[in-house]
Structure 1
């Protein structure tokens, strides 16, 4: 069993390195939060209370983001292995053995990524504190603490989150019929599980309770509640994504003015067909856009208006946004072998280099545009709800949203185009024969 786990990790190194990288980024974010809490405990007093308050907000943002992004990435890693799992079943492994192997692989990547992330966070903590608290006299001279106990807690958090996020994928790997997995490059997306329905219902009720509690609330408390709308809505969309994602991709890409070139149709079919990959790209982008937009929209309800400093934004959202954008980008890196095969098939079908590159760029545009279609209504609703509840002019934070969208488009396009260009340089016959 150990030889099987390690052999598959080596054979599919690109996929598992991507999963480990996301685990490492999640550990960096967790280390910052853990350091805030430990430092607050040590310094005490007013400074400690301030750090506790800040860390509470960061914990919520980071926890929701970690669960959503790590869940998407780990499920994608399992989905990209469907053919391998089918072969394992054909040579005699039972469903429970397959599930145990998958969980062992996920746990190993979580431990490696968690340890690497904590090691990377240690030299970053002091300059990060200095930058974020430069304008806060009580906090700018504090030396952040990060003990071995905190390191263990962060690694344990990453491990539990990865295993929980990948549990659905592990079940799919064990349950899918071997012949079906061998026929399809990616297993068909299943419907909603009971866990997803319960999670979606819980998040919806929390959102409703937040909106109901806003009228008559103090501006500071209302602003804090409004900040939560973005990440909670992104979590809700993630939970319900099997219901609407493929249909949304197919329908909005079909309503553009006709006639459209062939590369656009290639892009929209690829985005809709690879449901696991598309969801793993889009949902983290929705999280990033929602976080930034709702933060600025909520701040418009507070006394003094939009007063966030750059350090404050980095402290509150730097980690979650980094995790979200990294997750979306790494998804395309993980699916590189799948891209190799698609490019080879297009070449033998008569496709040109220009057509392939245009299709890949269009696919990136589809991902980012879909994320905008899902996230911007949440940002607008946050501004309007805040204005309604507190009787103030609405603020939407569209400038910050535009910045994140442009950055997302650049990252996703680069992450999609580079593997395609590398695939164009490979031997087509060998690539197809390997499949």
Structure 2
């Protein structure tokens, strides 16, 4: 059985490399957060006080992002290999054993990627800490700590999240009738299962509770500690309700351009709608990145406006580069890698589709343009959802502070969405161009 686990990992190396990249990024970011906690714990006093508030915000932003990107990436990984699992059952492997093999593979890749990410963080943590906290008097010259225990906790946490995220996919892989899976090679559509329903209810409840407890009459500094968490929670709620929200938004805005306007647009729009599991895996992390960055800058600008209205000065709410890096660097890195990786992972599964389109008379230029349109659809959908989360959070904060409108940072929203689009574009177009080099008869002859 060990041979089956390892040989299958090798056979589908492109798919597993996507999960590995996301888990490496998760391990890297998690190790940085663990280093902050361990360093504060060792020194105590004012160091612990300063690092506790910073690490709490880092963990909050990172945890929300990691849960979303890991679960979506893991589920897509299992879905893309549905046909292989069906073949296993046809040759006599029991369904329960199929699920066990899938979870074992996920555990190996999750632990390996997290460990590599932690190792990458070890040499980077000290210079990053010095740069971020160079203006903090209490942090000057202190010893930094990121030990084996912290690394093991990070590796174990990421491996557990990967396994939990893959439970549903593993169960589906073992329960799907082999003939049905072979007849329907496309990844299954995402659904609002009981886990997503519970998660969505909990996150929405937490968001409403936070919005109700925000006290606009408190000091701006006290208010900001809670307000900065509002937009990330809204984004998490949208991600949890993705099977309901993503199709509606995608269909709504893509319907604005009639399908007859362009054949490549028609193909891209229908492909994104039909392959909703793959589309959602690309949209979710990019949406989170847009919402986190836009929400942070919008909250800061809105708080500065309230401070200026109360005291005539907005000092204290300028977002320093080092603060933005330590708060958003990890989540943005995770989101960018996950968005590009999920698109890259699913590229190989579409080679037959590209060959069929060519056989029907389409040119290489048309197919490449279709891939570009798909990247536009992914990025635009994520930008719309991320902007919606940012605006909703901003409106609540502004209402609590008795401001007419929030100071929405559209420049930040556009910058993150544009950067995400470039990554997704590269991950979409490169596999497409590579697939077009294959001979059509050979591609269509291989199932």
Q: Give yes or no for TM over 0.5.
A: yes
Alignment of 1:240-251 (within 5 A): 240-251=241-252
Aligned to 2:162: 162
CA-CA distance at 1:385 after TM superposition: 1.4
For the Cα contact (< 8 Å) 1:361–1:417, is it kept in 2?
Answer: yes
Per-residue deviation, residues 136-191 of structure 1 (Å, max 9, x unmatched): 23225434211011111110011011111111111211122212211122243253
Instruction: Give the CA RMSD over aligned residues.
Output: 1.6
Report if aligned partners of 1:264, 1:359 keep a CA contact under 8 Å in 2.
yes
Residue among 326, 333, 336 paired with 1:325: 336
Distance 1:101 1:225 in 2: 43
Partners of 1:258 and 1:89 in 2: CA distance: 41
Which residue of structure 2 lines up, in the alignment, with residue 363 of structure 1? 374
Whole-angstrom CA distance in 2 between matches of 1:108 and 1:397 = 41
Asked whether 1:418 is paired with 2:430, we answer yes
Is 1:277 paired with 2:288? Answer: no
1:58 is aligned to 58
What corresponds to 1:401 in structure 2?
413
Check whether the contact 1:83–1:185 (CA below 8 A) recurs between aligned residues. yes
Is contact 2:27-2:154 (8 Å) kept? yes
| Contact 2:190–2:276 (Cα < 8 Å) also in 1 | no
String of CA shifts for 1:363-395, please: whole Å, max 9, x gaps: 000001111111111111222211110124622
Summarize the Cα distance change of 1:427–1:376 in structure 2 as closer, same or farther, 3 Å threshold: same
Distance 1:24 1:134, change over 3 A: same
In structure 2, how many angstroms separate the alpha carbons of the residues matched to 1:142 and 1:273? 55
Deviates more, 1:219-228 or 1:276-285: 219-228
Structure 2 residue aligned with 1:315, among 305, 326, 337? 326
In structure 2, distance between residues paired with 1:65 and 1:142: 30
User: Do 1:282 and 1:371's aligned partners in 2 also have CA atoms closer than 8 Å?
Assistant: yes
Preserved contact between residue 79 and residue 188 of structure 2 (Cα < 8 Å): no
Count of equivalent residues: 435
3-state SS of 1:134 partner: coil
Cα deviation 1:386-421 (Å, max 9, x = unaligned): 111012462212221111011011111111111111
Cα displacement (A) at 1:318: 0.3
For residues 97-146 of structure 1, give each alpha carbon's deviation from its aligned partner in whole angstroms, at most 9, with x where no partner exists.
11111100100101110111111111110121122123323225434211
Q: 174-183 vs 149-158, which deviates more?
A: 174-183
Mark the runs of 5 or more structure 2 residues left unpaired by the alignment.
308-313
**Residue by residue, what CA displacement relative to the aligned partner does 1:217-258 show, whole Å, maximum 9, x if unpaired?**
432232222222222222212221122323432332122256
Give the TM-score taking structure 2 as reference length: 0.94
Segments of structure 1 that go 5 or more residues without pairing to the other structure are none
Could you list the structure 1 runs, at least 4 aligned residues long, displaced by more than 6 angstroms after superposition: none
SS of residue in 2 equivalent to 1:208 = helix
- Pick from 379, 389, 411: which aligns with 2:400? 389
2:311 is aligned to none
Aligned residue for 1:335, secondary structure, equals helix
The normalised TM-score by structure 1 is 0.96
Offset from partner CA, 1:29-67 (integer Å, 9 cap, x none): 100000000110122221221001100111111111111
Instruction: Indicate the larger mover: 211-220 or 167-176.
Output: 211-220
Question: 1:30-429 residue pairs with structure 2 within 5 A?
Answer: 30-189=30-189, 191-215=191-215, 216-257=217-258, 259-300=260-301, 301=303, 303=307, 304=314, 306-392=317-403, 394-429=406-441
Deviates more, 1:289-298 or 1:75-84: 289-298
On the 8 A contact 2:78/2:170 being kept in 1, the answer is yes
- Match among 410, 430, 435 for residue 442 of structure 2: 430
Residues 230 and 287 in structure 1, CA contact (< 8 A), matched pair in contact too: no
Is the contact between residue 203 and residue 232 of structure 1 (CA under 8 Å) also seen in structure 2?
yes
Give the Cα–Cα distance (whole angstroms) in 1 for the partners of residues 325 and 209 of structure 2. 28
> In structure 2, what is the Cα distance between the partners aligned to 1:89 and 1:363?
34
